[in-house]
Every structure is written in C-alpha cells, then in structure tokens.
Chains A and B, each alone.
Chain A
Amino acid sequence: MFLNQFLFLAAALFCIGIYGVLVRKNGVLVLMSIELILNAVNINLVAFGAYRGDIGGQVFALFVIAVAAAEVGVGLAIVLLIYRNRRSIDVAEANLLKG
C-alpha cells in the first residue's frame, strides 16, 4: 500500500466521472458522474491529509461532502422540474437555446 495507489484510484474515479458527464444523456446519471468526481477529490484530500499528518485535508473533505449534498439537492430539484414539463430527463433534448 503506497500513497500513490490512493492517488491512482482517485485519478481513475475522476476520469470515469468526467467520461460520464461528457457521454451520459440522462440528467440523473450526469449528476451521479459528478458525485464520482467529488468522491475522487475526497479520496485525494484524505490521503494527502493522512500522509502529511494534517487534519486540514479531512476537514476539507467533510466540507466537500456537505456541499455535494446541497448541490445534488438543487440538481435533482431542477431535473425534476424538467421532467414535469417535458416528461423526459434527457439533457441532449434540452436544446431550445442555441449557444
């Protein structure tokens, strides 16, 4: 067990999360992919904090968990709103506005 194994695990989770955000069309699955990214961050923070003997990393991770919950709460509310209006949570179908 080395520190780099934690970092590789986090990097893998992060890449899976990015892939999910870019490829998935279902709004809920996009939110879940974002959760994977945030969990990768938490693994990083706790691993670094433990390695350095610094409590700051674990405190930061707690804050990330709390904020992630708030983000997902708001995110699900918006996805639910979309579902009520168009009976679909496919983010690719949300194309009324053209960037």
Chain B
Amino acid sequence: MPSTLWGADVGSIVAGLLATTTADTAEFVRPAIDWHAFAPELIVLGWGALVTVIDIIGLERTRRFMPSLTGIGFLLAMIPVLTLWDLDGDLPRVLFDGAYVVDNYALVLKGLFLLSGYVIVLLSTNYMAEGDYHDSEFYQLIAASVLGMLVMTSARDLVSIFIALELVSIPAYLMAAWRKRDLKSNEAGLKYMLMGVFASGILLYGMSMLYGAAGDTRLSVIGESLAGDADGVSPFIVIGTLFTIIGFAFKVSAVPFHTWAPDTYEGAPTPLTAFLAVASKAAGFVGLVTIVLDGLREVPSIVEPLMWILAALTMTVGNLIALRQTNVVRMLAYSGIAQAGYMMAPLAVYSTSPELVRESIVTYLVIYAAMNLGAFAVVIVAARKTRSGEIESFGGLFRYAPGVTVTMTVFLFSLTGIPPMGGWLAKFQVFNALIEGRTGWGVGLAVIASINSVVAAFYYLNVAKFMWFMPAPDDDYSPIRVPSALIFALGVTVIVTVISGVSPLVPDLTDFTEVATAGP
C-alpha cells in the first residue's frame, strides 16, 4: 500500500475516473469462452429455467414430475463434471481472465454439491408433496441455490465469490420461510435473512478494503500484492482480512456468530434444514478456504490467530450446547456448529502446508455432507410416523424399523468419528494437518479438538441408546412405510459414508497452487 494513498488529491481521483472511462476506445473483442469448462453451470441454469417454464405452462398437471425433473437436471450436470475430470492433464482451465478456474479442487466440490442437491430433492419429494406447500417452486429455488454453489467452487475473484454466495443464500432465505402460515417458519426465515444480509454487508466492507489494498478483485493478484507488503501490514489489509473472515464466519455459523443457526434450523422445513446444514454451510467453507489460501496466503499473521480462536470457540461451544438439547434437529444443528469448528481448525495453521490443509477440509466437507444428510434423512423418516423431533421419539425404533436404525447408527458412529466409518478419516485428516508443523498452537488446537470429539460421542450415542434400548413413547410398534425416494437417499448416503472411511474419495488436489501463483 503506497503511503500516498492518504494524500491523493481530488485532481488525481478525477483523472483516474476519466482514464478509466475514456482510455478503452480500442475495438471490443469478445474473449474466448471455454464452454466445456463452464458446462455444469450452464446445464443447471438452463435446466432450472426449463423446469420453471414447464411449471408455468403445466401448473397442476406437471406438478408431481417437478422433483424428478430437477433431480435429472443435477445428474445431467454431473456428465460434464466427469468429462472434465477425465481431462486430467489438461486441467486447470482458466476462464474470464483468471476470475474463474476449473481444477480438481473445483470439480470434486462440484460433484459434491450436485450430489447433495440430488439427495436434498429426494428428501423433499414426499415431505413437500404431503405438506400442502407450493412444492414446485421449492425445487426451482433449490436449483438456483445449487447453481450458486457450483459457481462458488470455481470463483477466484471477489466479485464472483460474492455473487456466488448471494446466489446460494437468497433462495435459501425464501425456502426457510416456506410454510407461510407457520409463525415458527416465518421467524426462521426472518432471522436467517437479517443475519445473512447483515453478514454480506460486513463481508463486502472487508472485500472493499482488500480491493483497495490490492487494486484488483482477482484473488491471485490480491495474494501477490499483499506479499509485497509483508513487513509493514497496512490498516487496509488488517481491516479487510478481519471483516472478510467475520462475514464468512456468519455464513458457516461459527461461534460467536452462530445464533441464527439453531432457530432457523428448527423453524425451517426439515429437508431445507438439511440443505442449510450441509450444502449451504459447505459453500460458505469453500469461499472461506479459497479466499484464505489464495488471496490471503501471505498474511498468516492476521488470519491464523483469528481462525484459531474461532475454531476453538466453535467446536467447544457447539458441543457443550448440543449436550443439553432434547430436540434432535436442534441437536444436529449444534453438532453441525461443532463440526464446522473441526473443519475450520486446519486454517489456523495453513502457512505450514496449504495443500494438506486444503485436502483435509475438502475431505471433511465430502464426508460430513454424506453422514449429515443421512442423519437428516433418518429424522425425516422417523418424523413421518412420530410427528415429533424429540430425541425420546426415537425410542423403540429398532423394534419397528431395524433397517433405518442400523443406517442411523452408521451415521451417528461416523459423526462421532469411530472407525471404519467416514467420519473417522475426516477427523484423522484434520488432526494430521494440525500437527504437521509441530507448532505449539497446532498441537494445542488438536488437543482441544480431541477432547471435543469425546464430548460429542456422548450426545451422538445418546440417540443410539434411545433407538436400540428404550421403549417407544406410547408403545406404538406399527412399522413405518418408507417412500422409495427416502430409501434411495439413505442408500446413497450410507454407501458414501462407509466407503469413504475405507478408501479415500478425495484425490490429490495439489494442482491448485500452480494456478494461484501463475495468475492470469
């Protein structure tokens, strides 16, 4: 940051304005667009628009096809993700002057978001159809939100990260308030919307400061220009970094910015709660990881202490409050907050080995998505019979629904981190990244995380205890009819949860840094 910034007079500002508006008189040439690399987003966008038009024309006649149509769109968008993955040597592909990058990191996460979008559609199918809601619009909004997530994975520019984050959040505000006449749902939407928009404001203020410090919105350029200022860190960089990270802390519900999360999760329709707790939170994490490891890679002296405090607070407070919950959705909400703390922990030591940190967080996101979506699927299945979210209502589940009980046990063991379920590998990766540098701070955070894992086991296994050993609340042991969509969702999540513990699903992500340093 040149010191003249504070002394710039109005003449140079006006000259700057004129220069930006009059200098570019050269003939406009359309930049080449790599349609293949951009295909997943285009398919979701086009398909979402198509589904909307079909809904407007068909009205009631086409309503029951909406969930399957939306699901097919997500699966179609998987095709270019797979063909891009197959290119391997041809990656990374850089689009739009370095603002948009398709590499292995982006492709793994695109696959994750498309699959979780598909599972969410499966979870919502019967829930929305039986609840007398406006169900077809719900799926169009989910498609819009998933589109934002796809953009987020590739965004390497402040503007595109911001747009992606808003595209994820704005449909989610509407969906949280979906049950129009239910005061709880209204309140969930109001709280989520106010906190989300407020967080966007703080995030943007931080981004504007980073832009001012670097003079460019691309993260690769920001990273380089911050490197040149390593000796005397300017106030712009400190304020920019602080506000950007606090903005994301709201989005990923890190303590002390988590207060909206349990209320919104409880009041919103349960499939949407699963969507917020898994996909939306993961999108926030992707943005945070991209900004920290790419744009802020040279200022660990500011980021690391902040992330250390946030991670330690988030996992501890999340777990301690989860212990006291009697409602299973609120319990999962606070457990999700605690899990966010584990995911954030590697960022507290990212300067030692950024690749390891990136890989551990992506691994955690993939496994967390599978096991948490599965747990929510079981909650939805159980609530079809019990009409209750209390942990007591899980009593006797083993006697009338043994298959569901076994899958829920898999998810709970995985969330606790018991081998050989996926959650174990996720935690192992995080601890590995934490102690990699052999620093006191890293090891200290690893100790806090391991104590928290033990505390978490108590409330996860408490649910298992009710399912296996306690009697049903009102001695009602009639079997549950589980719709095929939910059986399929349970199957997908349980397979991913079990397989990911045995063989790592997330491949090597080391090609990322080459893009970051090569720049546009």
Contacts and interface: CB of A to CB of B under 8 A. Distances in A.
Interaction A to B:
yes
Contact of A85 (B181, B198, B201, B267): B181
B215 interface: yes
A71 B186 contact: no
Interface residues of A, number: 53
Contact of A1 (B10, B201, B202): B10
Interface string A83-99: 00110000100111111
B208 A44 contact: yes
Q: Is the interface of A mostly helix, strand, loop or mixed?
A: helix
B200 A71 contact: yes
A60 B211 contact: yes
Nearest to A89: B190
A94 B190 contact: yes
Contacts, number: 161
Contact of B6 (A2, A50, A99): A2
B169 to A, nearest CB: 9
Query: Which residue of B13, B158, B163, B197 has the most chain A CB atoms within 10 A of its CB atom?
Result: B197
Contacts of A45: 208, 211
Interface string B183-220: 11011111101100110111011011101100111000
B20 A49 contact: yes
A2 B266 CA distance: 50
Contacts of B190: 27, 78-79, 82, 91, 94
A11 to B, nearest CB: 9
A38 B199 CA distance: 11
Contact of B201 (A41, A59, A96, A98): A41
B263 to A, nearest CB: 4
Given A74-B174, A81-B189, A51 B8 contact: yes
A85 B186 contact: yes
A51 B208 contact: no
A56 B208 CA distance: 11
Interface string A1-44: 11110000010001001000100000100110010011011001
A57 B462 CA distance: 53
B13 to A, nearest CB: 5
Contact of B263 (A31, A85, A99): A99
Interface of A: 1-4, 10, 14, 17, 21, 27, 30-31, 34, 37-38, 40-41, 44-45, 47-60, 63-64, 67, 70-71, 74-75, 77-79, 81-82, 85-86, 91, 94-99
27 contacts: A2-B7, A4-B6, A31-B194, A34-B197, A44-B205, A44-B209, A48-B215, A50-B13, A50-B14, A52-B212, A54-B216, A56-B217, A58-B20, A59-B159, A60-B159, A60-B217, A63-B159, A63-B162, A74-B173, A74-B174, A74-B193, A78-B189, A86-B183, A94-B191, A96-B267, A97-B191, A97-B266
Given A63-B163, A64-B204, 16 more contacts: A34-B198, A37-B204, A41-B204, A51-B212, A54-B215, A63-B159, A74-B173, A74-B193, A78-B186, A78-B189, A78-B193, A85-B181, A91-B190, A96-B184, A99-B259, A99-B260
